[in-house]
Amino acid sequence: MSGASGNGANPAVQQPYIPTDAEQAEHLQNLIRKLKDFWVEQLAEMETLSLASEQDFKNYIDLPLARIKRIMKSDEDVHMISAEVLVLFAKACEMFILELTIRSWCYSERSKRRTLQREDIQAAIANADILDFLVNIV
């Protein structure tokens, strides 16, 4: 045996972090609080948004509208998309991404990491019934 420890375990491989029941309860409370704060903030932002024109709202959206339109038009039944609908879909996509990020980040913090990883997204999806449609994708 050349340098093997004899037990077959590789000491360099880190075992996954398994939280205690108290830590899991704290994690759940933290997640609920962060999601509540997020949605309160989103509502307040929409209520106080002062836009003089549709173009102002388009400039407010961070996602590329052309790409969203192309995705929407990938459905052969969709022929025309109004500018209003496109902007609403863009904002909905942005909110979806932000909520999934918040959910995933809570799992990263629970594992005492400062980097969001695929396993955090998988955990967020697996532990939220509303995200069941993504289980087979990630």
Each residue's pLDDT tens digit, 65-75: 999 999 999 99
pLDDT at 2 over 70: no
For residue 132, how many other CB atoms are within 10 A of its CB? 10
Q: 131 or 16, which is more confident?
A: 131
Q: Which residue has the tokens 């407010």?
A: 60
According to the model, what pLDDT value does residue 45 have? 85
Q: What is the mean pLDDT of residues 92-111?
A: 94
- pTM of the predicted protein model: 0.73
> Could you tell me the domains of the chain?
23-134 (1.10.20.10)
Q: What is the mean pLDDT of residues 94-105?
A: 95
Asked if 73 and 81 touch (Cβ cutoff 8 Å), the reply is yes
Q: Which residue has the tokens 């959910």?
A: 103
According to the model, what pLDDT value does residue 62 have? 84
